Amino acid sequence: MKKIATFALAAAALALGAAPSAAHAEQQYGASYAADRAEIEDLMARYLFAIDYFDWDAYVATFAPDGELEFASGTSKGRDAIRAAVTKFSAGIGKFYHTADGKPAKLRHVILQHVIRVEGDHAWGRSLWLEMANHGEGDQPKIGTYGMYEDEFVKLDGHWLIKRRNVLNDFIPNRGTGPDNPVRAMDATADAR
């Protein structure tokens, strides 16, 4: 009897250990997921190229008309407010990133990896990013900062746009990513909708 009870407990423990929790469950992807994800990834790349090359028309066009951008300088809502915030930020960035002769450094943003969840005309993303600039010794490239984008996307007139982007920066107090897996929070937000 003791062997049967031990076997039953061991089997139950294995079964519980093998069963995925809701947070670890394999995601289900619809038929349009690949196309939606490809367009969202393209949107995110266009956002980065626009900011690195000061193309503010292209930059604000990545946001929904009522889109929202939150970053270290505050929160802006709507394309005009977003343009004003990022151009002001861009004008001052040379104080922090400059070459040896004092000229503004060239900044380049890179997305390392991202998770994108699509539910109909809404999507959510979490992306790790880093920023490089030629402000190292002898104007060599140097990683300046890194963090995470917390994104919400919306599909308007058949195209994906940024509904809300929160730029977290792990070098700024109270703007870091925190200790928990950000994908769990993203999934909880999507599930709550």
In this model, does residue 163 exceed pLDDT 60? yes
Position 178, amino acid: G
What's the CA angle centered on 186, arms 185 and 188, to 5 degrees?
65
Residue 115 maps to a domain: yes
Closest CA to 155 of 37, 71, 30: 37
Residue 162 maps to a domain: yes
Residue 60: pLDDT band by 50, 70, 90 thresholds?
A: very high
Residue 91 maps to a domain: yes
Residue 59 maps to a domain: yes
Domain that holds residue 55: 31-192
Position 80, amino acid: D
Residue 5 maps to a domain: no
Kindly tell me the burial class for residue 126, based on how many C-beta atoms sit within 10 Å of its own C-beta (0-12, 13-18, 19 or more).
Answer: buried
Stated as kind and residue range, the H or E segment containing 19 is: none
Please give the structure tokens belonging to residue 165.
Answer: 């982007």
Give the residue-averaged pLDDT of 8-35. 60
Residue 25 maps to a domain: no
In this model, does residue 6 exceed pLDDT 50? no
What is the total count of domains within the chain? 1
Position 81, amino acid: A
The per-residue pLDDT for range 63-99, each reduced to its tens digit, is 999 999 999 889 999 999 999 999 998 887 767 777 8
CATH number of the domain bearing residue 175: 3.10.450.50
In this model, does residue 49 exceed pLDDT 90? yes
Closest CA to 107 of 142, 138, 73, 137: 142
Residue 22 maps to a domain: no
